[in-house]
Amino acid sequence: MELSEVDGVPEWLPDHLAGEGIESLYPPQAEAVEKGVTRGESLVASVPTASGKTLVAELAMLASVAAGGKALYIVPLRALASEKRAEFEAFEEYGVEVGVSTGNYESNERWLGEKDIIVATSEKVDSLVRNGASWIDRLDCVVADEVHLVDDRNRGPTLEVTLAKLRRINPDLQVVALSATIGNADELADWLDAGLVDSDWRPIELRKGVHYGQALHFDDGTQRELRVKSGEKPTAAIVRDTLQDEYDEEGNVAEEGGSTLVFVNSRRNAEAAARRLASTTAEHLDAEEITQLREVAEEIRSVSDTETSEDLADAVEQGAAFHHAGCAPGHRSAVEEAFRDRLVKCVCATPTLAAGVNTPSRRVIVRDWRRYDGSAGGMAPLSVLEVHQMMGRAGRPGMDPYGEAVLLANAHDELDELFDRYVWAQPEPVRSKLAAEPAMRTHVLATVASGFAASRGALLEFLEQTLYASQTDESGRLERVADDVLGYLEANGFVERDGDGLQATGLGHTVSRLYLDPMSAAEIIDGLRDADPTDVSALGLYHLVSRTPDMYQLYLRSGEREDLAMMAYERESEFLGAMPSEFEDERFEDWLSALKTAKLLEDWADEVDEDRITERYGVGPGDIRGKVDTAEWLLGAAESLAAELDLGSVTAVREAKKRVQYGVREELLDLAGVRGVGRKRARRLYAADIETRADLREADKSVVLGALRGRRKTAESVLENAGHQHPSMEGVDADESARPAEAPAVEDGEGDGERAIDEEDQATFGDF
């Protein structure tokens, strides 16, 4: 189908897409148009990765906007929100306004009401509904990207309930659900009253197979020799083969070598594999690539002063990289961009990279098809859907002539097993996880508090509109779980019942607005109510929020239990709530896990060097950032709850929140709050006797320049943000006596973007 044949879209769209090389629609896209996606008809598109799902969404949203409507694009991950924003911003030159929202669960963000297309995570959309965003009822089109994630135990229930609420608010809402190929796309379509495009079409060929012995065995029955050298691992052999150019009969390069994604089952394996494969990729770099990769490596080193940064940068300099949740966001984005630019030739990743983020490659190697599963008590096979998601990353349209995705077998029986289990298998059906009690606690309270249900009957009627209700054969299960949850909410003062009638209390409304699991709120409230407000410590507060269901606690490593138990007894008076007996094994273990998490937060707030924290707790910089962000959110919620209940600990909670937010001791809070200062610059300024924001406003500029190591633009920006009347550093010489000890001198005019790693940054702030 030609673009000119598509009705309902803006007149400028065909020319715009032609400028991007898109002259006609792929078959699944054409089928979506035929089924009315540009005429407001709901649709489920279950098609492989790289087959044009995003354009289907764009056609629907732009048709809606052209008709005077408003569109919402729901993504599962913040990183994917940023990626989609960058894509959709290309429409702004035609007057389409795009807005993005992913954080701050307490706001309704009225400014989004002025946008034509809004990109947000499902959690953010859920919170916007709870907080009564006025523009929600003006939505005409909602796109749910990666909708198969309704099967995810953590994210799925929120996406499912959010879609149900949006359809309840807007009865004529168009829902466009995008999915990888799944086994029951028809069930999702029935649930959403939508048409269905269920296709296995891809723009370029994807060959799936297994490497065994000295050959690749493909799903079409063919084989291709791919020899593994003596002392070489099969993964390295495949990466080496992928990097080699292909030649025609005359000896000319017919196809340049390509890139490889290697999926492994743990962070440690991702890092180890990248280190090993760096020696393979390094042999295929030219001089220009080496220079560019050194620049990327420096960017990575500037993200954090940790071993993870250094190890990643070392691998990147040789054309390889790793990618996992322990990497900081800056690490991951740098790797993704360098991989898309074909500078990094091989990325070793955990399966998280398979979901959403646009990182296709010539070949995909699924090295590990088992991973540890605590519920199974050991290693368990990955799902077919997850492996197919990884395999779907093979082959980038417009850049690769084909894609190949292979698993690795160590024996002939395993070769047959992998073909049966994954290559020839169909993905599993997705199943709702809404009936799990943790999910129901949160969503039942929100449903009552936001006015969707004023009675038990109305609540059950709403729940009947969910995917779970359409899938379950277990009579009465939803009703039983809902009643159990209502009993819990009533016992904790979040809802009141009058016969069949339901009403959220003021406290219940606050908990819903704060986006807390009600069990987290109950834990926080109990801890603060029992506390002496004059004797609340930061560690006690960090431990309180760390033992809530909303905080993912650090695991106890072998040998840590005894040391943490000793610390627990030594600091027992600081805890907000009674410590369980050590003979209550499971409860005591959870208490100690929360203590380990709280101690990490305390170290961060005590300005312990980031590298020391990663080493001590066995985490990556991304984990630190995640724990800090979660603690800041939970402490902000605790502050709101303490204020509502008129508890005397509000000030202590607020200070603990600020300290963990900025990663500083109490004396630096004022300085660190100046935009552009942060924990390390605040300490340098403080050492130069600039102790407050007011001091900074009136400071001698030569002292500020010296304390900030001669970086003029940084100093000017900091002074401007502090409100200095004359922030310009023109003609100012740095006061060398204010320059931090051990810091290398910086020539005037250098350092437009200060690196985070300096010699003095490696200093610690106390032994631990």
pLDDT per position as a tens digit, 67-86: 999 999 999 888 788 889 88
Q: Which residue has the tokens 């003029």?
A: 712
pLDDT in tens, 502-517: 999 999 999 999 999 9
Q: Which residue has the tokens 């715009």?
A: 16
DSSP structural state of residue 122: H
With bands split at pLDDT 50, 70 and 90, how would you rate the model's confidence at 533? Answer: confident
With bands split at pLDDT 50, 70 and 90, how would you rate the model's confidence at 762? Answer: very low
Beta-carbon contacts of 166 under 8 Å, excluding residues fewer than 6 positions away, are: 72, 125, 129, 136, 139, 142, 173, 175
**Distance in angstroms (rounded) separating the CA atoms of residues 180 and 49:** 6
DSSP codes, 232-287:
--HHHHHHHHHHSPEE-TTS-EEE----EEEE-SSHHHHHHHHHHHHHHHHTT--H
pLDDT in tens, 262-275: 999 999 999 999 99
pLDDT of 103 higher than 90: no
Q: Which amino acid is at 391?
A: M
**Distance in angstroms (rounded) separating the CA atoms of residues 265 and 353:** 12
With bands split at pLDDT 50, 70 and 90, how would you rate the model's confidence at 357? Answer: low
**Distance in angstroms (rounded) separating the CA atoms of residues 391 and 518:** 39
Quote the mean pLDDT of the chain: 90
pLDDT at residue number 356: 57
Burial of 657 (0-12, 13-18, 19+ CB in 10 A): buried
Q: SS3 for 615?
A: helix
DSSP codes, 365-407:
EE---EEEEGGGTEEEEPPHHHHHHHHTTB--TTT-S-EEEEE
More confident residue, 748 or 264: 264
pLDDT in tens, 131-189: 888 899 999 999 999 999 999 998 999 999 999 999 999 999 999 999 988 889 999 99
Burial of 93 (0-12, 13-18, 19+ CB in 10 A): exposed
- Per the DSSP assignment, residues forming a β-bridge with 71 are 117, 141
More confident residue, 692 or 305: 692
Distances 716 to 396, 519, 701, 720, 725 between C-alpha atoms, Å:
44, 47, 9, 6, 11
Length of the chain: 768
Q: SS3 for 62?
A: helix
More confident residue, 398 or 180: 180
pLDDT of 745 higher than 90: no
Q: Of the segments 8-17, 368-377, 732-741, which one has the largest average pLDDT value?
A: 8-17
pLDDT at residue number 473: 81
* Long-range pairs of 133-139 with CB within 8 A, sequence gap ≥ 24: 133/108, 133/109, 134/108, 134/110, 135/70, 135/110, 136/166, 136/169, 137/169, 137/170, 138/70, 138/113, 139/69, 139/70, 139/71, 139/72, 139/166, 139/169, 139/170, 139/173
Beta strands 378-381 and 370-373: pairing type?
Answer: antiparallel
Angle 678-687/650-662 helices, nearest 10 degrees? 100
**Distance in angstroms (rounded) separating the CA atoms of residues 320 and 365:** 14
Q: SS3 for 108?
A: coil
With bands split at pLDDT 50, 70 and 90, how would you rate the model's confidence at 1? Answer: confident
**Residue of 345, 346, 352, 344 whose CA lies nearest to 327:** 352
**Distance in angstroms (rounded) separating the CA atoms of residues 463 and 484:** 14
Contact status, residue 156 vs residue 432, Cβ threshold 8 Å:
yes
pLDDT at residue number 705: 93
Burial of 368 (0-12, 13-18, 19+ CB in 10 A): buried
pLDDT at residue number 591: 96
With bands split at pLDDT 50, 70 and 90, how would you rate the model's confidence at 754? Answer: very low
Dihedral sign for Cα atoms in the order 239, 242, 245, 246 = positive
CA of residue 31 relative to chain centroid, distance: 32
Domains along the sequence of the chain with CATH: 3-198 (3.40.50.300), 206-423 (3.40.50.300), 437-513 (1.10.10.10), 518-663 (1.10.3380.30), 675-762 (no CATH)
Contact status, residue 424 vs residue 221, Cβ threshold 8 Å:
no
Average confidence (pLDDT) over 436-456? 93
Percent of the chain with pLDDT over 70: 94
DSSP structural state of residue 144: E
Average confidence (pLDDT) over 715-725? 93
Count H helices, E strands: the chain? 31, 21
**Distance in angstroms (rounded) separating the CA atoms of residues 527 and 749:** 52
Burial of 742 (0-12, 13-18, 19+ CB in 10 A): exposed
Q: Which two tokens stand for residue 324?
A: 């996992």
DSSP structural state of residue 732: P
pLDDT at residue number 251: 67
pLDDT in tens, 24-73: 999 999 999 999 999 999 999 999 887 889 999 999 999 999 999 999 99
Beta-carbon contacts of 316 under 8 Å, excluding residues fewer than 6 positions away, are: 293, 296, 297, 300, 334, 335, 338, 344
Contact status, residue 426 vs residue 384, Cβ threshold 8 Å:
yes
Q: How many CB atoms lie within 10 A of CB 616?
A: 14
pLDDT of 459 higher than 70: yes
- Per the DSSP assignment, residues forming a β-bridge with 143 are 73, 176
Beta strands 206-212 and 215-218: pairing type?
Answer: antiparallel
Q: SS3 for 425?
A: coil
Q: Which residue has the tokens 């102790």?
A: 691
With bands split at pLDDT 50, 70 and 90, how would you rate the model's confidence at 743? Answer: very low
pLDDT in tens, 628-678: 999 999 999 999 999 999 998 999 999 999 999 999 999 999 999 999 898
Q: Which residue has the tokens 């087959």?
A: 51
